[in-house]
A and B are shown apart, each in its own frame.
Chain A
Amino acid sequence: MDSKFLSFVWRYSKREQIFILILTVVSFPFVYLSLEIPKIIINEAIDGSDFPKVVLGFEFEQIPYLILLCFAFLAMVVAINGIKWLLNVSVGMTGERMLRRLRYMLFERVMRFRVARFRTTKPGEVIQSMLGEIEPLGGFIGEVVSTPAFQGGLLCVYMVFIFMQHVWLGLAAVALYPLQAFIIPKLQKRVIQLNRERAQNTRFLAETVSESVGNAGEIRTNATARWHMAQLSHRLHTNTLIRMSLFKRKFTIKFINNFMNQLTPFFLYLLGGYLVIRGRLDFGALVAVLAAYKDLAAPWKEVLAWYQRWTDFNSRYTFVIENFIGDDVLDEDYLQPPARARARLEAPLTMTSVDGGPGSGGLGVRHLEVAAGETVAVLGGENGARESFLRLASGLDVAASGSVSLGGTSLADATLPQVGESLAYVGTEPGMVNDTLRVNLLYGLLRRVPDLAGQTGRDAEQLLQEAQRTGNLAADPEGDWIDYEAAGVDGAAALEERLVDVIGRVGLGHSTLARALETRLTPEEAERWTPALMQARSALNDGWPAEEREDLLERWEPERFNSNATLLENVLFGLPVSGGKDIAGYAELDSVRAVLGEVGARPVLEAIGLDIAREFASLVEAVGETSSVLDGFAAYPRARILAAAELTALAVDKTPDAMKSDQRAMLLSLAAVYVDQRDRLDVLGPARIERVLACREKARRMLAEREDFVAFDEERVSPAETVAENIVNAKRRFDRRAAWRKLDERLEQAIRTAGLRGELMSLGLDAPVGAGGSALSSVDRRRTGLARALMKRPSLIVLDGVAAGPGTEDVTLRATVRELLPDAIILLAAADGAVAAEADRVLVIGDDGGVVEEEPRGPERVAGGGRA
């Protein structure tokens, strides 16, 4: 990577810079003419006498000559601005592409860091370096050549023009430039230093914020929020001090520049006035010189500003690059090695004279060899030696000395494709990407780079073109990245089958199906899924005695109030197909509000809403505004409860009719999400239920023909409800929550009967897992990590804290791993001796880090060099 900013810019953008330079040069004659023509207009067209004038063989009287010159001036203005437009676009595009290239190059280097370097690399600092610190570089790169060329050129043109009028005037105009050129760099030096300090402090700041957000749990349990706030405050204070010093320096430079620039007209007026009075300079020339000087100040300022940015960005570039270079950045071949260095590594695992080095708990292995298909349990080494041993064996760390190899290839020299294909490390907190569960499970197979080259379509072509112009990977991020061969299958269908099988075996099947059942389909998907889900609905109800069904579910009947459904559902007897993500969201839709108004449901809902608000007001009075009791309502967040309580205080003794429209809207929202059986607030009497049912009758008639609402008695999938709700097509009874398990079992049976399980599993696999896998339980995250490793069929798998216990579930998991990977080496961090006894071999790591193999014949020392 270029260590100098200029060489980086020149290497990757010389063509663009030359083009910009040519454009700049082309503009100069036009600029010169735009200065010359006004002078001719004044001296020859307005003040002249020798008419007609001959231009290109044509004769012109005074007025036509004036018009001709004015249009010529206009043409110059148009030409100059046209060139400027082209120049600005080229500058902007070049800068943006170079910024993209630089960011990509930095990220690519991060990907080549040795794992050990990540231990000392702070994510906040890397992010700040890659995004914030180099951002201004983008704007500057495009003008690295153009600004000095254009502004410097302009400066020269103006100066030549002034010198052409009179040498002394020229000298007066540039008299102070040498002084500025001497002082500014001196002052700028300290500014550069301060900028580096500011950037360093901003990195610390980013890291402080990142660390605080990442440790939210620790902050809460240790009540250290104020300590973290003080740390941040200290960083902010340092930042303020640096910025204050920067401001002082910058504005001093600005003051000097401004002062010197305005000192020059003093000389021009004095000298120019003298020369005109003495008749040694004509008046038009003095006016033109003054105009030219006015224009001269701007490019001079630009040149000075460019110089300031140039020195600043040179230093900034070096400062950023320093963060991404070093001996622990692997060669480029590591990511994309030649074919010979891609061959999969196979057993045996060999460790010879290994010393884990500092922080490894004194780990030392004299010699160890593990053959294909062996399961090795590792015990002891709680001081960190066991973790080190497992990380070395899986290629995550490199030993301080000695050799760790797989199939004769040292893991320290193995390329990324080799490590990725041959080794797997399954820990208790596997890394998760913020994508679907499927992507996370197949993460170990995302190795085939889908080429953009063959793709058609404007987006693909542009993507490819830009990637090539900026040295980025020309791959389709949405393409098929799966290495089917590594998965041992011949295509997508076989892979899906294997994936479903694997997740079922590691215990992820049930939760994946549950996730699918909780998914809401899009209106387009709903249409496609309708026949299948209707089939599942029939399968669920077939042969299910009504009495048992009614015990768990409250069915939708047109003439009966459903006390396990929301009031909104009760009025509409259906839901809109789009526009909201929950009942509260649907209640806010204009289309829904319009229906509620037309069927006359607003008064009764507002009255119910007012009673709910009063209940909440009474609750807030009883427990206080800060009570955690207010967080216990499924459909009413704390803020909503407090707002409702406040509303009743503001509108004492008022009926909804007398309230403002926003207050009435809030009452309506409170009522819309109310479920009598769940919320039990005693706000529904028989009269109100009767009114709700009367409104429902009107709503049913009104919505019968509308496609944008799905009624509960329609044979159509409602996108407003989850997949499970669509199959059940009734409301679960809240008072029978303890028996819902029976319903779930029947539901799963119905899904199997309807042949929907596979499709639903696919749907569950496509559900997002959230940032860091936050939508999954910690158990499911661990299982995802295990399934990911199994899918790629490594030669060696490390199970560190996963499937390591004596329980039946873990025993089954271990058997599954062996069954799916019959030839792989399994290294297991066993929970205890009983678990270890199941393995083919047992390694015990002592407190001193020495590794001893225990065999039936008695302890046999394999490592440790004197450490018993």
Chain B
Amino acid sequence: MGISKTTDVLREMELFARVDDRQIRAVAMMGEELSFRDGERLFEQGDEGDAAYVVISGAVEVIVRVDDGERSVATLGQGEIFGEIAVLCDRPRTSAIAAKGSLVVFRLDRPVILNMLREFPDVALQMIRILGRRLELTTQRLARAAA
């Protein structure tokens, strides 16, 4: 798959909603495309957060450790991003990620992401919005749980 396919996927993402096509194509040039077989781990819980990923085709499982082993807590599909929090906050991975079937992802290393946020302020702004919204959702959930 080339950058055109990656560009198509990125264009559909909320993160790049306010970014023009030329810049999205530039972002597509900044990362690399990796493929994984069913069940292969992209990273483990506790690993250093050195990159973020976007699913180009296929799906991944989000796996967390529990007392009696591991549990799959979510599935992410095409156009979904993961691993970005660990990169931005310089924290270890909070979960493991495994390929669910045949998988192709777009990988952006930490320096590349930091560059991207510097080069494209619209992407940075959009990322702040998304993270803000996630925080708001979490707050609401906590409020509901407390009530």
Contacts and interface: CB of A to CB of B under 8 A. Distances in A.
Interface of A: 551, 615, 618-619, 621-623, 627-629, 632-633, 676, 678, 680-682, 734-739
Contact of B32 (A618, A676, A681, A734): A734
A680 B22 contact: no
A735 B35 contact: yes
- Prevailing SS type, chain B contact patch: helix
Given A623-B119, A628-B115, A629-B30, A735 B3 contact: no
A615 B4 CA distance: 12
B62 interface: no
Given A736-B35, A738-B36, A680 B30 contact: no
A627 B119 CA distance: 7
Contacts of B2: 676, 680-682
Contact of B42 (A627, A632, A738): A738
29 contacts: A615-B29, A618-B22, A618-B25, A619-B25, A619-B26, A622-B23, A622-B25, A622-B26, A623-B26, A627-B115, A628-B115, A628-B119, A629-B29, A629-B30, A629-B116, A632-B29, A632-B30, A680-B1, A680-B2, A680-B6, A680-B28, A680-B29, A681-B2, A734-B33, A735-B33, A735-B104, A736-B34, A738-B34, A738-B36
Given A627-B119, A629-B119, A680 B33 contact: yes
Interface in B1-56: 1-4, 6, 22-23, 25-26, 28-30, 32-37, 40, 42
Contact of A681 (B3, B26, B33, B118): B3
A33 to B, nearest CB: 82
B112 interface: yes
Residue from A628, A676, A734 with most neighbouring chain B CB atoms (10 Å): A628
Nearest to A678: B32
Given A627-B119, A629-B115, A738-B36, A621 B1 contact: no
Nearest to A677: B33
A680 B40 CA distance: 24
Contacts of B28: 680
Nearest to B115: A628
A641 to B, nearest CB: 10
Nearest to A618: B22
A551 B35 CA distance: 10
B5 to A, nearest CB: 9
B34 A737 contact: yes
Nearest to B24: A622
A745 to B, nearest CB: 16
Given A622-B25, A736-B34, A682 B3 contact: yes
For the complex of A and B, 4 pairs with smallest distance between CB atoms: A682-B2, A622-B26, A735-B35, A622-B22
B30 A621 contact: no
B47 to A, nearest CB: 12
Nearest to A631: B115
Contacts of B30: 629, 632
A551 B36 CA distance: 10
A615 B3 CA distance: 11
Contacts of B34: 735-738
B137 to A, nearest CB: 32
Contacts of B37: 551
Given A623-B26, A628-B118, 7 more contacts: A619-B26, A621-B22, A628-B119, A632-B112, A633-B29, A682-B3, A738-B42
Contacts of A621: 22
A676 B33 CA distance: 11
A738 B109 CA distance: 13
A850 to B, nearest CB: 41
A277 to B, nearest CB: 94
A356 to B, nearest CB: 41
Contacts of A738: 34, 36, 40, 42
Contacts of A682: 2-4
A394 to B, nearest CB: 36
Interface in B31-86: 32-37, 40, 42
A57 to B, nearest CB: 99
Nearest to A682: B2
A680 B119 contact: no
A734 B31 CA distance: 12
Given A551-B37, A628-B115, A680 B26 contact: no
B21 to A, nearest CB: 9
B117 to A, nearest CB: 12
A49 B1 CA distance: 108
Contacts of A618: 22, 25
A622 B28 CA distance: 12
Interface string B89-128: 0000000000000001000000010011011000000000
Contacts of A627: 115, 119
A737 B3 contact: no
A682 B33 CA distance: 13
Nearest to B112: A632
A583 to B, nearest CB: 19
A676 B3 CA distance: 11
A681 B29 CA distance: 8
A613 B3 CA distance: 15
Contacts of B26: 619, 622-623, 629
A186 to B, nearest CB: 66
Residue from B1, B32, B116 with most neighbouring chain A CB atoms (10 Å): B32
Nearest to A676: B2
B29 to A, nearest CB: 6
Nearest to A621: B22
A551 B37 CA distance: 9
A619 B3 CA distance: 12
Contacts of B3: 680-682
Given A618-B22, A622-B22, A739 B40 contact: yes
Contacts of B116: 629
A563 to B, nearest CB: 10
A737 B34 CA distance: 7
Contacts of A623: 23, 26, 119
A619 B37 CA distance: 32
A334 B115 CA distance: 56
A551 B26 CA distance: 29
Contacts of B40: 738-739
Contacts of A619: 25-26, 29
Contacts of B6: 680
A734 B32 CA distance: 9
B9 to A, nearest CB: 13
A632 B110 CA distance: 13
Contacts of B36: 738
A676 B36 CA distance: 19
A583 B50 CA distance: 30
B22 A737 contact: no
A834 to B, nearest CB: 23
A614 to B, nearest CB: 12
A551 B102 CA distance: 12
A632 B107 CA distance: 13
Contacts of B25: 618-619, 622
Contacts of B112: 632
A453 to B, nearest CB: 58
A632 B31 CA distance: 9
B66 to A, nearest CB: 26
A268 to B, nearest CB: 82
Nearest to B33: A735
A678 B37 CA distance: 19
